[in-house]
Amino acid sequence: MLALRFYGPGDIMIQNVEKPVCAPGEVLVKVAYAGICGSDLHVYRKGMFVTSTPVTMGHEFAGVVVEVGEGVAAVSPGDHVIGDPRVSCGSCQWCRRGLDNLCPDLGFIGEVSPGCFAEYIVISPEKLLVVPPDLDLRLAALVEPLAVAWHVVQKAGLSANTSVGIVGAGPIGLLTLILAGIAPAGGVTVVDISSSRLDVARKLGADRVLSAFPHQSSDQVDVVVEAAGVKDTLWAAVKWLKPGGRLILAGLYEQKVELDFNEVIAKELSVAGSNAYDIADLRTAIELLSSNRVNVTGIISHVFPLREAEQAFSLLTSRDKRALKVLLAP
Ligand SMILES: [Zn+2]
Ligand SMILES: [Zn+2]
């Protein structure tokens, strides 16, 4: 079968590999659509999170169960599923409560074990969630990033008069914008340097879009979601907050970032990290999509056949910022 393999920074290749065998207690899934995530770009550029090479990349997928191993009863052939790609110890105090995202040993498929940028994946049934058969599998592939954004919105603790600023109109920033639209929020402003991304943000309901951070204190907001993961934007995000405001960090950094914490103290800001999602967030994301409460179609900018995955990565790492969520179709 075809798979996209990571060999080292900037070194990825579509290759023919053995189709995985479905052992007892495991499930073989035919991948229908797999999304390229910001963290896949961190892997591609820097080799972050990868424990051994080569590894088949990818952790966001929707597909169809084709075979179940002996003893598997939770899913059956023909079921439409999405994956919970978190790989955790399963026994620490956080894993036992379903908070695998806080597991000290947390990793993801596609980084610490074979991922989903492949025609098939073998996975444990506990790591699959069944989705309704009438949910478009393209949208189902967005359950995972939608769960990330749902987790962010929970951390933000929005209410009807909370003004929200979103830094970065990539998939996570835009999904956060969509979810802020169904949560009570008192106006959402999106900042990004790309005019095409800001156009999408406007279409998705942003009250205001800006190509640079505002400097007036009257423009300050209660909550800033930092979804760019860029060093320079973090300080601007802190300055953008009202006294007593809340900063949610949702973008991962490729380098260490310095911050003047006196500003955090002076304004009594709360700073919270948001790491992936818990199992309840994944279930909520499925529910939001299958009930049509949120429409994420506008986030999908491209669908590439898996054999053209290398071109998809070139597009996503180019200066052309029109690409948002790019799906691979094996
Ligand atoms: Zn992801
Ligand atoms: Zn654990």
Give distance in angstroms: CA of 196 to centre of ligand 1: 22
Give distance in angstroms: CA of 215 to centre of ligand 1: 32
The CA distances from residue 93 to 60, 124, 142, in Å, are 26, 21, 29
Q: Is residue 316 part of a domain?
A: yes
Q: Given the DSSP bridges, would you call strands 107-108 and 120-123 parallel, antiparallel or unpaired?
A: unpaired
> Contact, 2 vs 40, CB < 8 A?
no
Give distance in angstroms: CA of 170 to centre of ligand 1: 12
Res 231: pLDDT: 83
Res 183: pLDDT: 85
pLDDT in tens, 183-196: 877 899 999 999 99
Res 174: pLDDT: 98
Q: Give me Rg for the CA atoms of the chain.
A: 20
Give distance in angstroms: CA of 155 to centre of ligand 1: 18
Give distance in angstroms: CA of 60 to centre of ligand 1: 6
How far is the C-alpha of 15 from the C-alpha of 130, rounded, in Å?
29
3-state secondary structure of 131: coil
pLDDT in tens, 81-107: 999 999 999 999 999 988 899 999 999
- Say whether both 180 and 98 belong to one domain: no
- Say whether both 169 and 186 belong to one domain: yes
| Percent of the chain whose predicted confidence (pLDDT) is above 90 | 89
Q: Is residue 54 part of a domain?
A: yes
Judged against a pLDDT cut of 90, whether residue 281 lies above it is answered with yes
Which range of residues forms the domain containing residue 129? 2-142+296-329
Judged against a pLDDT cut of 90, whether residue 230 lies above it is answered with no
Give distance in angstroms: CA of 35 to centre of ligand 1: 8
- Say whether both 190 and 133 belong to one domain: no
Res 153: pLDDT: 96
| Nearest ligand to residue 85 Cα | 1
Judged against a pLDDT cut of 90, whether residue 224 lies above it is answered with yes
- Say whether both 174 and 108 belong to one domain: no
> Contact, 80 vs 130, CB < 8 A?
yes
Peptide bond into 145 cis (omega under 30): no
- Say whether both 122 and 23 belong to one domain: yes
Q: What is the CATH number of the domain that holds 135?
A: 3.90.180.10
Q: Is the dihedral of CA 316, 322, 325, 327 positive or negative?
A: negative
Give distance in angstroms: CA of 107 to centre of ligand 2: 10
Q: What is the CATH number of the domain that holds 254?
A: 3.40.50.720
Judged against a pLDDT cut of 90, whether residue 206 lies above it is answered with yes
> Contact, 124 vs 25, CB < 8 A?
yes
Mark the residues whose beta carbon lies below 5 A from ion ligand 1.
Answer: 37, 60
pLDDT in tens, 109-147: 999 999 999 999 999 999 999 999 999 999 999 999 999
| Nearest ligand to residue 90 Cα | 2
| Nearest ligand to residue 106 Cα | 2
- Say whether both 134 and 154 belong to one domain: no
Give distance in angstroms: CA of 166 to centre of ligand 2: 31
Q: Is residue 49 part of a domain?
A: yes
| Nearest ligand to residue 89 Cα | 2
Give distance in angstroms: CA of 97 to centre of ligand 2: 9
- For the beta carbon of residue 268, count every other beta carbon within 10 angstroms: 9
Give distance in angstroms: CA of 262 to centre of ligand 1: 33
Give distance in angstroms: CA of 149 to centre of ligand 2: 22
pLDDT in tens, 56-73: 999 999 999 999 999 999
Number of domains in the chain: 2
- Say whether both 40 and 134 belong to one domain: yes
Confidence of residue 321 (pLDDT cuts 50, 70, 90): confident
- Say whether both 125 and 151 belong to one domain: no
Q: Is residue 94 part of a domain?
A: yes
Mean pLDDT of 216-228: 96
Confidence of residue 170 (pLDDT cuts 50, 70, 90): very high
- Say whether both 166 and 130 belong to one domain: no
- Say whether both 301 and 200 belong to one domain: no
Q: Is residue 48 part of a domain?
A: yes
